Amino acid sequence: MCFRIGNKTIFADHFFKAMKKERIALAVGILCISIFPILVKLNLTPGVISAFYRMAVAAACILPYVLFTKQFKIRSKKTFFYAVLCGVVFGLDVSVWNIAIQESTATQATLLTNLSPVWVGIGAFFFLKDKPTKNFWIGTVIAIFGMMMLVGFKTFIQLDFNLAFCFAVLSGILYAVYMLLSKNVLDKINVLTFMTISVVSSAVSLGILSYSINEPFTGFSSAGWLVLVVQGVVCQLLAWLLISYATKHMRATRVSVSLLGQAILASFLAWLFLEETVSIQMVIGGLVLLFGIRITFYQKDVFAKRSVSNSKLSRL
């Protein structure tokens, strides 16, 4: 978690500042979380206990580091409480998403979960000072349309309201709540402190939940343990350090829409490792999705040039 340049040691947050490109951090974070649905779909461990170990492994890695380097800093009890709440919400999000993936397909569960930008945009409109722009809504509509094309309109329309469907939608709502809460918390504490509180509280809450529903804590295969470690280190710790940093320096709505890009990578990985079919329509849908994401990053009004041109013509 530290990097040495000459005689200076630059820790995580300083390294990211040196990069001066939070979008790179977001892109790498998306890459890390894109492998998660594939690992879960292998069904090597139950859904809830998989979520528990994802958080527990991440907590075991980050907690000693922040304590040893004295980077754990809390300004108020209220901030600490909201950080804990973020962890509990995120833990529930991962657990219900795991179940949705295992009970359906990685693509379907990812599609429904990634409808979260709609909930984030609505939540930001009502509860955050940082309101969504017109470009956000335009980009969101285009991105969701591309996501529907990616998995197939027929598949989207014919989804049954079964347990997997409900859990996937619930996962998207929980993730939206997490994004809105974390944006507020990250304005008050550093990324490492937030991540430490979040993963520890997630691990504790998921451990209690797993015990209460009699989930097995041991007895997995070697491959199962390896998957759990990869989920904790790569899909949780590394990915969300990067994404949390991006969330701190970018609009919560833009980060959420950008995370839709994982649908493309997850679909490709599902085709590569799970032998899921990838058609030309899915490729086009992926490009449309990326175009929608690009619009959310566009600062000026997408219709500004047209309106200016029309005003000039009217003067002539």
Confidence band for 244, pLDDT divided at 50, 70 and 90 = confident
Dump pLDDT digits (tens) for 32-59.
989 999 999 999 999 999 999 999 999 9
pLDDT for 314 equals 46
Number of other residues whose CB lies within 10 A of the CB of residue 298: 14
Label residue 20 left, alpha or beta by phi (over 0 means left) and psi (-120 to 50 means alpha): left
In this predicted structure, what is the pLDDT of residue 61? 93
Q: What is the pLDDT of residues 121-141, one digit of tens each?
A: 777 777 777 777 888 888 888
Look up residue 93 and give its amino acid. D
Q: Report, as an integer, the average pLDDT of 299-303.
A: 67
pLDDT at 13: 56
Whether pLDDT at 87 is above 70? yes
pLDDT-based confidence at 224, cuts 50/70/90?
very high
pLDDT of amino acid 160: 52
pLDDT for residue 258: 74
- Whole-number pLDDT of residue 234: 93
Between the alpha carbon of residue 134 and those of residues 42, 295, 302, the distances in Å are: 40, 10, 9
> Span 21-34, mean pLDDT?
86
Helix boundaries (H) for the chain: 12-19, 22-34, 36-41, 47-68, 77-103, 106-113, 116-127, 134-151, 153-157, 163-186, 191-212, 222-230, 239-249, 252-258, 262-273, 280-297, 304-315
- pLDDT of 230 strictly over 90: yes
Provide φ and ψ at 129, rounded to 5°. Answer: -70, -30
Q: What are phi and psi of 277, to 5 degrees?
A: -75, 135
pLDDT at residue 309, rounded to an integer: 47
Taking the model in full, what pTM does it have? 0.76
> Which pLDDT score is estimated for 19?
46
Residue with more model confidence, 102 or 109: 102
Percent over 70 (pLDDT), the chain: 82
Mean pLDDT, all residues of the chain: 81
User: Collapsing DSSP states into helix, strand and coil, what is residue 5?
Assistant: strand
- pLDDT score of 21 more than 80: no
Q: Residue 109 and residue 97: Cα distance in Å, rounded? A: 7
Please say whether the beta carbons of 52 and 200 come within 8 A. Answer: no
Q: Rounded to whole angstroms, how far apart are CA atoms 295 and 253?
A: 12
Measured at the alpha carbon of residue 109, what is the angle toward residues 108 and 111, in degrees to the nearest 5?
A: 65
What kind and span of H or E run contains 90?
helix 77-103
Between 294 and 226, whose confidence is greater?
Answer: 226
pLDDT at 7 exceeding the cut of 70 = no
pLDDT at site 214: 95
Q: Which of left, alpha, beta for 139 (phi over 0: left; psi -120 to 50: alpha)?
A: alpha
Partners of 10 in the β-ladder: 3
Q: Kindly state the average pLDDT of the residues 202-207.
A: 97
